[in-house]
Chains A and B, each alone.
Chain A
Amino acid sequence: MTMLTKVKSSREAADAVYDYALPAGEGWMYELEPGQVLRLVDTEGNQAADTLFYDADNPEDHFSAIHTISAQKNVYLTTGSKLISESGKELLEIVADTVGRHDTLGGACSAQSNTVRYAHDRLPMHNCRDNFMLQLAKHGESFTKRDIAPNINFFMNVLVTPEGGLSFEDGISGPGHYVEMKAKCRTKVLISNCPQLNNPCSGFNPTSIRLLVWDQ
């Protein structure tokens, strides 16, 4: 039903200055310089990359899902989407995307939200919010739990219906699909490669994502 615009990138993996396969269920934090390009590859398909951004020169200024979708008056992200911070600063722009749509409303899974969504006994299961907290704790500085704002779920297909429903659909991503974004300023990137085993967002089989960075 929805028209998906897919835009390929001309960048070659061999030219990347950074190339890393982030295992399923692990967190990652990295700082991009202005002009650097980050690519997330859904290596085996059906994976969710829960992602947050911070202005590295003012880490208290986090990514704002709502400013981002309000500015473009559309709830999905794809090529051309500008990723905006809470203060209104443009942090990055998506420059290539072979999926066509990424989620801004589903947020990151947590032990606590798993108890609500599935059952109280899911509390011990590994989750994205714990990954975010561990990475922020390791990166010290001034980060605290309050810096965990609603995030982007790259590769996830969360549909908003005209009746106001929210449905989690099977992935429209697939093996090798990717999204690429260019940093507009010094930007900290925080990723949790989702360990969710309770719903199809990772196909009940979380897999690695490949992270590539180019200088331009």
Chain B
Amino acid sequence: MENLWNLTLGSGAKWSGIISKGKLIRIRALEDGANLSGLLFNAGNLTESYNMPDTLKAQHTSRLTRGNVLMSDNGRAMASIVEDDLDWHDPIGGYTTRQLTDEKYGKTTFQENQNEWFRSGEENLAMELMRNGLQFRDMVPVFNLFSKIKVDEFGDMHFIEGHCKQGDTVTLRTEMDVVLLLSNTPNPHDPRKDYPSVPVEIEVLPAESVKEDDYCVNYRPENKRAFENTWDYYKLVTQ
């Protein structure tokens, strides 16, 4: 299928933009050990956003993979994971802060290091929130593509190293017109000492229309109801 748009996000880079419904967003790790933090807002109503607890509890999961739907705080399907080379993307690890970045990897500044300085998820996302008419108060838990955090029986969180290999790909399909915010910054739980951020490639392609037997729609009855809520919403806001 024809590629509409592509972009390579280098180490520490960020991006945000509107992507309308019915598109595939294919994201590929260009080296081992990628982590891409993301947030979604409804492009037509910025008070609606990706909601981690609603997504996890509806699907009884603490890991995201093919079949899962990223749900909004208004009970709607925003995007679904239609293809996945990995079986686990992390929704609970959070983003790096400026403080954590300085403490873990050493203090860097633009003046000293120019564009090699280490960006934080906190600052990257704050800037992209502002760019889209939002503020830092709109910050909610991010999803971290390509990372795996296992929780043991005591509740302790363990980052699994070596999870993502070069070339691993995950594809999201937009079910709503969304504002997508991305920060290519480390997972805060990654123990590697050298700033672990590697380039990722993003391609956007048209998606085929969602069919009745769609894998994500039928993955769980909850997913189907979230899709129905989205379709109902569009009956009112589009002609």
Binding site for B on A (CB under 8 A): 1-3, 60-62, 64-67, 69-70, 73-76, 86-88, 101, 105-108, 110-117, 119-120, 129, 144-150, 158, 160-162, 164-168
Contacts and interface: CB of A to CB of B under 8 A. Distances in A.
A152 to B, nearest CB: 11
B211 interface: no
A76 B155 contact: yes
A69 B93 CA distance: 8
Interface in B47-72: 47, 51-54, 56-58, 60-63, 71
B137 A60 contact: yes
Contacts, number: 141
5 contacts: A75-B92, A101-B155, A112-B75, A120-B225, A146-B47
A192 B237 CA distance: 32
Contacts of B73: 110, 112-113, 129, 148
A165 B71 CA distance: 17
Interface stretch (B9-17, B28-36, B145-153, B164-172): B145-153
Interface residues of B, number: 47
Contact of A73 (B88, B97, B156, B229): B156
Nearest to B227: A116
B73 to A, nearest CB: 7
A69 B136 contact: no
Given A147-B137, A150-B53, A162-B150, A74 B156 contact: yes
A120 B189 contact: no
Contact of B52 (A101, A107, A115, A116): A107
A146 B140 CA distance: 9
A158 B63 CA distance: 15
A116 B156 contact: no
B206 interface: no
B157 interface: yes
Contact of A115 (B138, B152, B153, B229): B229
A116 B188 CA distance: 31
B74 interface: yes
A117 B69 CA distance: 13
Contacts of B78: none
Contacts of A101: 155
Nearest to B226: A116
A70 B93 contact: yes
Contacts of B150: 162, 164
B218 interface: no
Contact of A66 (B62, B75, B141, B151): B141
Contacts of B155: 2, 74-76, 101, 160
The 7 A-B residue pairs with the shortest CB-CB distance, nearest first, are A107-B53, A112-B75, A164-B63, A66-B94, A76-B155, A60-B137, A160-B151
Given A70-B189, A73-B189, A86 B62 contact: no
Contacts of B93: 66, 70
A167 B92 contact: no
B154 interface: yes
Nearest to A62: B137
Nearest to A68: B94
B94 A70 contact: yes
Contact of A105 (B53, B76, B222, B229): B53
